[in-house]
Structure 1
Amino acid sequence: MSTFTDLGLSAPVLKAIEALGFETPTEIQQRAIPELLTGDKDLVALAQTGTGKTAAFGLPLLECIDTDSRTTQAIILAPTRELCLQITNEMQAYAKFIPGFSVVAVYGGASIQEQARALKRGAHIIAATPGRIKDMISRGLADLSKVTYCVLDEADEMLNMGFYEDLTDILSHTPSDKSTWLFSATMPDAVARIAREFMHQPTELTVGGRNVATATVRHEYYLVGGRERYAALRRLADANPGLFSVVFCRTKRDAQKVAEKLIEDGYNAGALHGDLSQQQRDLVMSAFRKRQLQLLVATDVAARGIDVDDITHVIHYQLPDDIETYTHRSGRTGRAGKSGVSLIIMTRSERGRIRALERITGRPFEELPLPTGMEICEIQLYHLADSIRNTEIHPEVKTYLPAVNDLLDGLDRDDLIAKMVSVEFSRFAEFYAKNQDPKASPKAGGTSEQLPGNAPARFFINVGERDGLDWMILKDMLKEATGLGKEDIFKVETKDSFSFFSTEPEVAPLILESLKGANLEGREIKVELTDAPPAYKGKKKPWKKGGKPPYAKKGKGYGKPPGKKGKGYGKPAGKKNKKGKKQAGKG
């Protein structure tokens, strides 16, 4: 595996990379940086959102800039203000140890005169949105006549937003012999047209396949009635207590309406759409980045360029009209090697679009039933217990403990715990008692789990994200321990300190026997059936060969994982750790 030192970068740039804590370049960085450092050339690079494209073009761009000259030597065009600012901030961080370097952000919604004054002072690189830089060129406030490098970032998104004419106008004010670097997640016809018209024999790099979604994202869909979308959204939010998600709507009106209903129902939610002022958008995005909002309800246009770490889920309240837009949406999660989940709420009339989505993304989609009220109550109960266990005791509380003890006098430990968790548990139990569970699809999950007498076996396991596990790693761990196949373990859901997974009922005894005595980092793994299905009762052990299950030596389980000390589970023995080292870039 190569390092940034192997890519041919200069000492000041390497020093900045080290200061940022980046160790290993991503695939697009490994391939693009040496290519761009070899000389003046045009490049088309296709890679998904979150693979480090900003560093892939930003680092070599810094090596090509002459800081002794005050002229603008490069322009980076991005579709949104948020992405424009992100690129500017990252370029400043990469150039931390390059004296005299200047990059200026030019975007709408801010003072055009202040941006003009910043350009007049000297900007080696301009990071701009198409509309504002076109306006500044027409007013004579920006000069691109000496630009030697032009970068089109998220080119497909810019063209989807209708910036084709703006791009052609902007590029007409730049020298014909400049180098053009085009970075895009997909390669629709409009992007290919830009490459043909404004680039000369470009080198093409493709990471992960054209228009293919990232492999770290799991895709699920839920069939509901047209009037049940909002109820389904609530169930999915309640079933994932640690949810940190972007909820996509097709229209500004729907985004505002859904956000208002979520807020009214007690969720930490906010809307992001084109009818908001720039100040309102900044406030919403600031709250979301600080995780003060759990759910950001957005339109596709408003969400362009959102760069927020650790988004756990993308929820498609409505599918986009353009199927390729789905790839952009789902790319907001599962970034930098982390896993994520893309959830679709859809009607039966839309079900036919699933095959087209699978074809375009190159990923399988799983149909699942919406969680029942009791399943949600169970998840919330475990989450509450875990929150209580990990809550730090406030020093001032001790002052009031004698009086509190008097009030609770006569309650034994079990009664006290039951009453304490019932305060929160009752809220969900009462709500879902009044709201009927949705009718499940007869083929939900691609299994026979909805047939009478053959319900799936649902398991609770006492390890989760705090142990370094995500749904992919946990599924691999269970497959390794039990010898089951990929399709035998499904509905894997990891929470903070516990998780759930399902299997067919006939393999439930194998699960329990295989994980008996297993441990993780020296801590005993406990697995329990949350609700033993009818098909499990009275079943004999399904395995053959004398009744011995295919698992490791009894009492040892996984033992100590092969990953680095203190880093959680990582991956099962004999397989490369998926977590890897920290990777540079986010865009």
Structure 2
Amino acid sequence: MSTFTDLGLSAPVLKAIAALGFEHPTEIQQKAIPQLLSGDSDLVALAQTGTGKTAAFGLPLLERIAPESRTTQAIILAPTRELCLQITTEMQSYARYLKGVSIVAVYGGASIQEQARALKRGAQVVVATPGRIKDMISRGLADVSRVEYCVLDEADEMLNMGFYEDLTDILSHTPADKSTWLFSATMPDAVARIARDFMHHPSEVTVGGRNESTATVRHEYYVVGGRERYAALKRLADANPGLFSVIFCRTKRDAQKVAEKLIEDGYNAGALHGDLSQNQRDLVMGAFRKRQLQLLVATDVAARGIDVDDVTHVIHYQLPDETETYTHRSGRTGRAGKSGISLIILTRSERGRIRALERITGRPFEEKPLPSGMEICEIQLYHLADSIRNTEIHPEVKTFLPAVKDLLEGLDRDALIAKMVSVEFSRFAEFYARNEDPKGSTEGQRGETPLPHGGQARFFINVGERDGLDWMILKDMLKEATGLGKEDIFKVETKDSFSFFSTEADVAPLILESLKGAHLEGRAIKVELTDGPPPGKGGKKPWKKGGKKTYGKKGKPYSKGPGAKGKKRKKTTGKR
């Protein structure tokens, strides 16, 4: 595996990269950086969001800047102010050991006079939104006449937002012999048009297929009635207690309305859309980054440039009008090699759009039934029990324990536990008892005959995301432990500290036997049947007879004895 040193970067830039904890370049960085360092040719680079595109153009750009000159030598254009600020912050961190390099952000919603003063003091690199930089050029507050490098980031989204004429105007003020670097997640016709109109025989770098979605994202969809969309959203939120998600709506009005309803129903939610002031948007994004908000309800335009680690799910409350936009949305999760889940809520009339999404993303989409009320109650019960187990005892509570014990006198251990968990469990049980399960969703993938419920077995396993597992790693671990095939283990759902998975009923004995005595990081793995028929006989033979199988982090086997420790993984990529 190559390192950043192999790419030909200078010592000050390598020092900054090391300080950020990055060791190995991503695929787009490996392909783009050497090419941009070696010559002045134009480049079209296609790669998904979250693959490290900012470093792919930012690092070679900094190497080509002349710090002794205070003129604007490079301009980076981005579609939104959030992305503009994000790029500026990252570029400044890469340039921390480069003396004399100034990077200034120019965007709407902030004082144009202050930005003009910053440019007048000298900025070799300007990161800008098209509307604001065009305005400053027309007023004579910004000079791009000596720009040597122009970067168009998220070019497809800039065109979707109607910035073609603005780009034409801006680029007309730049030298004809400059180098133009175009970075995009998708390659629609409009982006190809930019390459034809503004670039000179550009070379192309592609990571994955054009417009393809990242392989680490699982795509699921739920078919509901038109009036059941919000009820479906609540069920998906309740069925995933550790949810940290961006919820996409088509319009500003819908985003605000959904966020308000979620807040009324007790969820930590917030809205992000164009009707908010810059200060309001900064407050919402700050709360989301700090995980003070669990659910961020956003429009496509407002969500451009959101770079938040560990988003577990993207929920499409409504599908976007443009099919390519789906790729951008789902790129909010599954970043930097991590896994993520993209959930779509759609009506029967929209079902046909799934095929188009499968074609453009190159990924299969699975139709799933919405979780039933009792399934949600079961998940919440396990989550509550785990939360109680892992809660640290507050020192001052000991003062009140004698009085509390007196109040609870006469209750045995089992009754006390049952009453304690019933406090929270009853809230979900009573709500879903009053609200029937939506009838819009059908079980099984499109084109398949759904298996009868009696033909499947559902399992609970006491390991989850806290143990370094996601749905892909857990599925691989189970396949390795049991010897089952790729399609034999399905409906894998990982929660914070536990997970669920399904198999056909006839291999249930194999699952239980194969995982008997297994350990993960020295902790005993427990597997239990949660529903379905009693396991019958038959199935494949266990992968191993007797003994214990121990797993380390990420589901990798390290030793056969309990207590074995896996090596911690180091941070290996520069994230977008």
TM-score bucket of the superposed structures, by smaller chain: over 0.9
1:495 aligns to 2:480 (yes or no) = no
**In the alignment, is the contact (CA less than 8 A) between 1:520 and 1:569 conserved in 2?**
no
- Aligned residue identity for 1:556: K
| Distance in 2, Cα, partners of 1:503 & 1:52 | 37
**In the alignment, is the contact (CA less than 8 A) between 2:223 and 2:348 conserved in 1?**
yes
Aligned with residue 569 of structure 1, among 554, 559, 565: 554
Q: Give the deviation of 1:578 after TM superposition.
A: 13
1:555 aligns to 2:547 (yes or no) = yes
1:451 aligns to 2:428 (yes or no) = no
Return 80-89 or 513-522, whichever deviates more. Answer: 513-522
Return 384-393 or 310-319, whichever deviates more. Answer: 384-393
Q: Name the structure 1 match of 2:125.
A: 125
Q: Give the deviation of 1:251 after TM superposition.
A: 1.1
**In the alignment, is the contact (CA less than 8 A) between 1:337 and 1:579 conserved in 2?**
no
Within a 5 Å distance, the mapping from 1:334-353 to structure 2 comes to: 334-353=334-353
| Distance in 2, Cα, partners of 1:383 & 1:227 | 29
Deviations 1:503-562 (A, max 9, x none): 12222122112211222222221110011x23x45x22233xxxxx141242223x244x
- Aligned residue identity for 1:27: E
- Aligned residue identity for 2:402: P
- Aligned residue identity for 2:99: P
Q: Name the structure 2 match of 1:93.
A: 93
1:194 aligns to 2:186 (yes or no) = no
Within a 5 Å distance, the mapping from 1:164-183 to structure 2 comes to: 164-183=164-183
1:582 aligns to 2:559 (yes or no) = no
Q: Give the deviation of 1:584 after TM superposition.
A: 3.9
**In the alignment, is the contact (CA less than 8 A) between 1:156 and 1:187 conserved in 2?**
yes
Aligned with residue 542 of structure 1, among 539, 544, 551: 539
Say if 1:452 and 1:496 are closer, same or farther in 2 by CA, change over 3 A.
closer
Q: Give the deviation of 1:579 after TM superposition.
A: 9.9
| Distance in 2, Cα, partners of 1:553 & 1:459 | 21
| Distance in 1, Cα, partners of 2:23 & 2:399 | 49
Number of matched pairs: 569
Q: Name the structure 1 match of 2:563.
A: none
**Percent identity between the two aligned chains:** 84
1:146 aligns to 2:131 (yes or no) = no
Return 522-531 or 367-376, whichever deviates more. Answer: 522-531
SS class of match (2:336): coil
Q: Name the structure 2 match of 1:564.
A: none
| Distance in 2, Cα, partners of 1:106 & 1:11 | 29
Deviations 1:341-392 (A, max 9, x none): 0000011111111111111000010010000111101110111111111111
| Distance in 2, Cα, partners of 1:586 & 1:75 | 21
Deviations 1:196-239 (A, max 9, x none): 11111111000011000000000000110000000000000000
SS class of match (2:395): coil
Q: Name the structure 1 match of 2:473.
A: 473
Q: Give the deviation of 1:465 after TM superposition.
A: 1.0
**In the alignment, is the contact (CA less than 8 A) between 1:336 and 1:583 conserved in 2?**
no
SS class of match (1:314): strand
SS class of match (1:243): coil
Q: Give the deviation of 1:129 after TM superposition.
A: 0.2
Q: Name the structure 2 match of 1:75.
A: 75
**In the alignment, is the contact (CA less than 8 A) between 1:23 and 1:582 conserved in 2?**
yes
Say if 1:580 and 1:213 are closer, same or farther in 2 by CA, change over 3 A.
farther
Q: Name the structure 1 match of 2:521.
A: 521
- Aligned residue identity for 2:109: G
**Please, which runs of 5 or more residues in structure 1 have no aligned partner?**
544-548, 562-567
Q: Give the deviation of 1:287 after TM superposition.
A: 0.9
**In the alignment, is the contact (CA less than 8 A) between 1:442 and 1:451 conserved in 2?**
no
How does the TM-score come out when normalised to structure 1? 0.94
Deviations 1:80-108 (A, max 9, x none): 00110011111110011111110000000
Say if 1:522 and 1:448 are closer, same or farther in 2 by CA, change over 3 A.
farther
| Distance in 2, Cα, partners of 1:397 & 1:489 | 45
**In the alignment, is the contact (CA less than 8 A) between 1:43 and 1:203 conserved in 2?**
yes
**In the alignment, is the contact (CA less than 8 A) between 1:570 and 1:578 conserved in 2?**
no
Q: Give the deviation of 1:29 after TM superposition.
A: 0.5
1:223 aligns to 2:223 (yes or no) = yes
| Distance in 2, Cα, partners of 1:111 & 1:337 | 38
Q: Give the deviation of 1:39 after TM superposition.
A: 1.7
**In the alignment, is the contact (CA less than 8 A) between 2:180 and 2:199 conserved in 1?**
yes
SS class of match (1:166): helix
- Aligned residue identity for 2:571: K
**Please, which runs of 5 or more residues in structure 2 have no aligned partner?**
560-565
Q: Name the structure 1 match of 2:388.
A: 388
| Distance in 2, Cα, partners of 1:252 & 1:279 | 17
Q: Give the deviation of 1:581 after TM superposition.
A: 4.4
Q: Name the structure 1 match of 2:159.
A: 159
**In the alignment, is the contact (CA less than 8 A) between 2:490 and 2:501 conserved in 1?**
yes
Say if 1:147 and 1:22 are closer, same or farther in 2 by CA, change over 3 A.
same
SS class of match (1:481): helix
Return 457-466 or 230-239, whichever deviates more. Answer: 457-466
SS class of match (1:488): coil
Q: Give the deviation of 1:460 after TM superposition.
A: 0.3
**In the alignment, is the contact (CA less than 8 A) between 1:4 and 1:24 conserved in 2?**
yes
- Aligned residue identity for 2:347: T
- Aligned residue identity for 2:494: T
Deviations 1:303-329 (A, max 9, x none): 111111110000001111111110000
SS class of match (1:396): helix
**In the alignment, is the contact (CA less than 8 A) between 1:55 and 1:584 conserved in 2?**
no
Q: Name the structure 2 match of 1:400.
A: 400
Q: Give the deviation of 1:443 after TM superposition.
A: 4.4
Q: Name the structure 2 match of 1:250.
A: 250
- Aligned residue identity for 1:93: S
**In the alignment, is the contact (CA less than 8 A) between 2:368 and 2:442 conserved in 1?**
no
Q: Give the deviation of 1:580 after TM superposition.
A: 6.3
**In the alignment, is the contact (CA less than 8 A) between 2:372 and 2:437 conserved in 1?**
yes
